[in-house]
Amino acid sequence: MNAGMRITTNAMIRRYSTNLNNALGDLDSKRNTVATNRNFNKIAEDPAAAMKSFKLRSNFARTEVQRANTVDSLKKLDEVTSNVLRCADMGRDFIDHSLRGYSGLATEPETRQSLKQSVDKLVESFIQQMNGRYNENFIFAGASTKELPFSIDESGELLYRGISVDKPEALTTDDLTNIVREADPALTTDQVSEAVKNIMGDKTLITSAGVSSALASSGLTTTQQQIVKDKAEALGETKQKKYETYMNEHSYRDIGFGLKEENGEVVSTSAFDTAVNGLQIFGHGLDKDGLPENIVSLAQELSKALGAEDFDLEQYDKIVNKMRSNYNDMIDNGLASLGTKAAFLEHTEDQLIETSQILNEQISSLDFCDPAEAITNLMWSQYAYNATLKVGNTLLSNSFIDFMS
């Protein structure tokens, strides 16, 4: 046998070996596809498809987070709406109680006292609703959901996160007591109380300007007066800044609008603001006649009017009318705004569900195979492998005969 024939035969055997290995590899791949129901199990098997799948899965995961944020925001909003509705029912009770026995109020102290007790109980119930929670977070506390939003101090003043609901910049009796005590730690408790009484008079709130004008009759020394004046002005400014912060704070969540920031701040149109400010829902400040805008503060004024020795029917009537007006505003504006937000979130959730379904279908079509097609491909690979073996058997037999000859 010549050398040329031997070299050609060796080359054919090497080519056959390569083809056999390729056929076996393809067969193993098709078997894995049938067993795992996946188009590829390693990135190296299909790098382009693997990268596309990774991007799709990343988008799907982000969409699911946005959907969860939307659902959670909607649940919180539902709780807010429920609490406002309960408060609205209490508002109706306020109106009913304020009108009950109206004809006898001027001449029957017992009727006024009974009505006052009912109103006081309703105020307590209202405060509980205004301090409602969702997932252990206070729902009307703006962006500071771990902080108790509404409280009543010892003087009976309604506070929102430490500032007056009616006069945000004003100082409470407790504020002034602390200031006087800090002005001179050597003052006794009685001296502090006397100075505070001389400055406050019968008021429960006082502005820094009011403090300055009343210091002359406080009984404090000139030095003590100056310290109190400076501290009162500083605290008044701090309270005003807090109020402005509370009215403009936000708590944004990503619900699929392309969350982005500018100068370290979230762009408001790129996220949903979940902060709910209790002041904006239930009212704050005073009107031009000096009556509170907050419905609880109004109820407190109603209670004071009923408990006064000299009952003023005209003032009582003003408070009742104001309550009716503010109650209607809370229903018309507060609930309408909440309803609009809820509808918006529901629509957003539907869109995110649809997006998730589309992404999931794209991932499935890319990652997972059609079982029938996979089995067909396996059969063809098995056929190709068997054919390669058959060719090999013929080739090896002929090569052996050639070698022997």
The confidence score (pLDDT) of residue 110 equals 85
Give me the half-sphere count of Cα atoms (radius 13 Å) on the Cβ side of residue 58.
Answer: 6
Instruction: Give per-residue pLDDT as tens, 38-81.
Output: 766 777 777 888 888 889 989 999 999 999 999 999 999 999 99
Work out the burial of residue 193: count CB atoms within 10 Å of its CB; fewer than 13 is exposed, 13-18 middle, 19 or more buried. Answer: middle
Q: How confident is the model at residue 397 (pLDDT cuts 50, 70, 90)?
A: low
Which segment of 26-40, 143-157, 246-260 scores lowest on mean pLDDT? 26-40
The confidence score (pLDDT) of residue 404 equals 43
The confidence score (pLDDT) of residue 90 equals 79
Q: How confident is the model at residue 405 (pLDDT cuts 50, 70, 90)?
A: very low
Say whether pLDDT at 350 is over 90. Answer: yes
Beta bridge partners of 171: 206
Round the average pLDDT of the chain to a whole number and report it: 85
Calculate mean pLDDT across residues 361-367: 81
Say whether pLDDT at 193 is over 50. Answer: yes
The confidence score (pLDDT) of residue 370 equals 62
Q: How confident is the model at residue 114 (pLDDT cuts 50, 70, 90)?
A: confident
The confidence score (pLDDT) of residue 35 equals 65
Distance between CA atoms of 286 and 289, rounded to whole angstroms? 8
Nearest Cα to 278, choosing from 154, 147, 121?
A: 147
- Rounded to 10 degrees, the C-alpha dihedral 333/339/341/347 comes to -150
Largest CA distance in the chain: 139
Calculate mean pLDDT across residues 249-263: 92
Instruction: Give per-residue pLDDT as tens, 269-314.
Output: 999 999 999 999 999 999 998 999 998 999 999 999 999 888 888 8
Nearest Cα to 237, choosing from 284, 173, 171?
A: 171
Beta bridge partners of 253: 272
Distance between CA atoms of 176 and 166, rounded to whole angstroms? 17
Percent of the chain whose predicted confidence (pLDDT) is above 90: 50
> pTM for this one?
0.76
Residue with tokens 């987070």: 65
The confidence score (pLDDT) of residue 293 equals 93
Distance between CA atoms of 339 and 342, rounded to whole angstroms? 5
Tokens standing for residue 295: 């419905």
Say whether pLDDT at 400 is over 50. Answer: no
Burial code (b: 16+ CB inside 10 Å, e: under 16) for 249-278 equals eebbbbbbeebeeeeeebeeebbbebbbbb
Q: Catalogue the long-range contacts made by 216-222 (C-beta closer than 8 Å, 24 or more residues apart).
A: 219/191, 219/194, 219/195, 220/180, 220/183, 220/184, 220/195, 221/184
Say whether pLDDT at 107 is over 50. Answer: yes
Calculate mean pLDDT across residues 79-106: 77
**Residue 156: left if φ>0, alpha if ψ -120 to 50, beta else—which one?**
left
Quick check: 295 and 305 in contact, CB under 8 A? no
Say whether pLDDT at 4 is over 60. Answer: no
Beta bridge partners of 213: none
Instruction: For the chain, report the end-to-end CA distance as a whole number of angstroms.
Output: 7
Instruction: Give per-residue pLDDT as tens, 302-338.
Output: 999 999 888 888 888 899 889 888 888 888 877 888 8
Beta bridge partners of 141: 277
Of residues 366 and 218, more confidence is placed in: 218
Say whether pLDDT at 19 is over 90. Answer: no
The confidence score (pLDDT) of residue 398 equals 54
